[in-house]
Structure 1
């Protein structure tokens, strides 16, 4: 919990001072060094965190990376920093590429203080991969991200374990990204695959678009049905509602957190006394997560403003007016059961649309 709290406090610092972090030095002192400290490294000990690490590589003399991190006297991680508003494309990691091959380090970290991209040599020994195997977004992370990040803590640092898991983690993240794209906008390849099994005629543009829409709607329906089935089983048997995975986001950069899933489950359980749980759905966005009746954004039951773990609010509605009520944990939503049920009655009567 201490680790989670420290990262949460660092996130609050980022959101408070983001506009001022326009230089690399500002990003280092305000975000990167506290981040390394949160991982348990003594940033004031040059035997553990070496600033401006120099390593001559071929004809390149006197080049530096921002930090080298040592564990048990061996250099294990190289860190290259950029301004908080700076680009983190791989072309800006030239020193990391060269130093990775010239030192014993197996982990490279490219960061602007907000995004922390971890690289290794999963594809070819002693050559840093072009793509990271793990990215931690300080501004928008999930508990599962914290669990992965915890592997880099000094107390638990195990290089072989990290490297052995890196390939699988990288592949999983890439597959997830591709599936999100397919879910949001089915590719021609997927359309041809499905249409080839179901359509006997020529695949005209009109047929292609019909299948594109049907595939996208079917994927969304499958996800909703899976969530509905779990919730209905839990409600009908009087048991606890098990955790369900978030539906893929419609907008880039939107990730549904565990707190939002828990909150959605609670709201749905409360409202199940008035309407069928199958009619209550979740639709996440960048600034809030909405709970809707009949998947209609004009029939909003509530909104969860949970993006900040230190300042959370439940938005309840009367007509078109939203009132934000502070909550600490999703379970606090039960305190507002009366307002949620009143909203269901209002929507069912047609007065809340």
Structure 2
């Protein structure tokens, strides 16, 4: 049990360090990758140049991973909302008065499932919801631009929609709420993408061997 607890702490600390490198790569981190693709001398100017390249590459890698997961799990061509459509819907939704629409028990249960899925990789106290006429949106900090997913539960056919890195919404039909767990990894990837640029003050975990 003690080993399990230690491993959990180590894992969390490594994840924190990885998130920190994603936001602001250290020279050592940049040099590790640069030395494998660049044959010249790693001068200060070269490292500075590759810092930006490394940061951009990491973000593109995460974006590509999210898109690939969506394509493999959801039929994108048939159920896709374009970037411009999503932007327009954001503006319309943000202009809607709060609490105008009734929230159903199924929508709240869906929210609890999403929170349970994201609990291990995000601060779920930041997860909020936005009820609209057509769907129930789950987002970070009440911002439509940080939507994790949408629950389309207003009709007899139910869908869960996820916005990919290109701003397209992919909908997956579900017959029961438990099926949301089937796309848990996609939801986690989406949440990581949305929070990767949020700078948080993290406390360093002090580990001691016993």
TM-score (norm 1): 0.28
The structure with the largest strand share of the pair is 1
* Greater RCO, 1 or 2 (C-alpha within 8 Å, sep 6+): 2
